[in-house]
Structure formats: C-alpha cells, structure tokens
Amino acid sequence: MDLKLAGKTALITGGSKGIGRATAELVAGEGCNVVIVSRNGEALAETKSAIARKANVRVDTVAADLSDSASVDRLARAYPDIDILVNNAGAIPGGTLLDIDEATWRKAWDLKVFGYINMCRAFYALMQKRKRGVIVNVVGNAADTHDPEYICGVAGNAALAAFTQSLGSVSAKDGIRVVAVNPGPVVTERLVGLMKKKALDRTGSADSWSDLLKPLPFGRGATPEEIAAAIAFIASDHSGYTSGSVVTIDGGLSARAHAF
C-alpha cells in the first residue's frame, strides 16, 4: 500500500532506538523526510547513517532533552513546517507507589508526560496556522492494565491517553488529527534489559530472559516494526478520519485485564 507520505516531513522524538527508529526507517522508506530527536547524539548519527543507506530523503538529527521546555521551543522554531509529529520519547521506571520517590516520579513525567504536552502545544499551534497536520502520541497500554508495580507509568499513560482524546476531539476544526497508540510489551533494547534483570533475579541466569515472554499473547512481545507500521498508517491519509482515538496494540492483554 502506498501511504502517500512522499514529500512530507515527520518529526519523531525518541527516534534513535526502538519504536522511534523503526518508525523513522519505515516512513523514510515511503519517501517521507524525517527529523529524529534523541538525547543520544551517537545513536542519532548511527540511525541517520542507516536510514541514508536505504532511502533518498532528508534526514535531520537533533540531540535534545525534551524534559526542558526550552528545547521544545527551539525545535518548534527550527522545524515550523512539519506535517507529522510522533511523540515517542520517554521511559518511565517500574515500581510500586512506595518504590518511586517524588524526584524520580517528577523526572519521569517531565520527559514523557509534560514533554508530550509541551510538544503538542508548540507544534499544534504551528499546524493550526496551516490548517493541516497529524500528531501521534506513543503512550502505552499501562493506561488500561493498571499494573500497581508500574504505577508511575500507569498514571502517566492514563493522563496522556485522556489528553490525546481531549485534544483530538476538537482538532478537526483546525484540520489536525491527534491519535494515541498504546503498545503493549515491545521487544526493544529496554525491554530485553528489563527481562534479563528479572531472569537473573529469578533464576540466577540472564540467558532465560526470553522464557519470560512466553506467557504473552502469541508467545512473544510485539516488534518495533509492528508498532511503527500502525503509526505510519495512522499518520497517512488512508486514516484521514481518525482523531481523538486510542489504538491499543498489545495482542489483547488489556482486553484480557478487563475480562476478569
């Protein structure tokens, strides 16, 4: 399917690894210029090189900490004409309410929750002037599963899902679509690292980490490419009547959570 993204420009945060990188590679393959943002300059350079080998598009990289609103403002000034914004930066730590102190909670939310909100505020205003644009917020299914051992992420993701629905419910008047994607477990470097630590704690060996994924739907986690494909489709005109929605991609995990 031709997603008709050729000639457009997508700005993707957290774009040097995992879902962000897979999304950048996919839309670039569709002829979409990309701006990839991450705190890791070395990973950005490697990602840019990988994309440039496969696609004949413009690839810009920006090393920035989006927990700082000044960095968001600089991005908006540098790239006022983007067509697609994919908010994907942020990793909220696991733990119960008593495990996560205030400083850790605030630091995590400054990047993911307030980072997404600030990015939306800055780029929505620019898209509004042109009467077109798409914003995709990559959130997470913890908003639905309510895992008490990931309570900081549960609350943050629930806030972002509701924020997306609220903004996307009225954005059509400005020619803008706003959609959230809620992935379940995705086999990224971060998830593999967490699984290896959990396996080591349980069995004394990190080698059995993949066994911890077997109880998941289809006996595995999602691939970054599967989530990226959904993001790219949602950002395309083929999904032109989609706004204010939360698209959950977790093999049925959150539906199962509601069933019992």
pLDDT in tens, 132-165: 999 999 999 999 999 998 999 999 999 999 999 9
Q: How many CB atoms lie within 10 A of CB 176?
A: 22
127-131: average pLDDT: 98
List CB contacts of 34: < 8 A, sequence separation 6 or more: 9, 10, 11, 12, 15, 24, 27, 28, 51, 57, 58, 59, 60
| Cα separation, 109 vs 246, whole angstroms | 20
The Cα angle at residue 248 between residues 138 and 17, in degrees rounded to 5: 35
Q: How many CB atoms lie within 10 A of CB 38?
A: 25
pLDDT for residue 74: 97
Torsion of CA 215, 220, 226, 231, to 10 degrees: 30
Q: Where are the domains of the chain?
A: 9-186+223-259, 187-221
What residues act catalytically? Answer: 150
| Cα separation, 57 vs 24, whole angstroms | 11
Q: What mean pLDDT value characterizes the chain?
A: 94
Are 259 and 223 contacting, i.e. CB atoms less than 8 angstroms apart?
no
Given a cut of 80, whether residue 23 has pLDDT beyond it is yes
Q: pTM score, two decimals?
A: 0.93
Given a cut of 80, whether residue 13 has pLDDT beyond it is yes
- Superfamily of domain 9-186+223-259 in the CATH hierarchy: NAD(P)-binding Rossmann-like Domain (3.40.50.720)
Give 205-235 pLDDT, tens digit per residue: 777 778 878 888 999 889 999 999 999 999 9
Give 71-108 pLDDT, tens digit per residue: 999 999 999 999 999 999 998 988 999 999 999 999 99
The Cα angle at residue 22 between residues 21 and 25, in degrees rounded to 5: 85
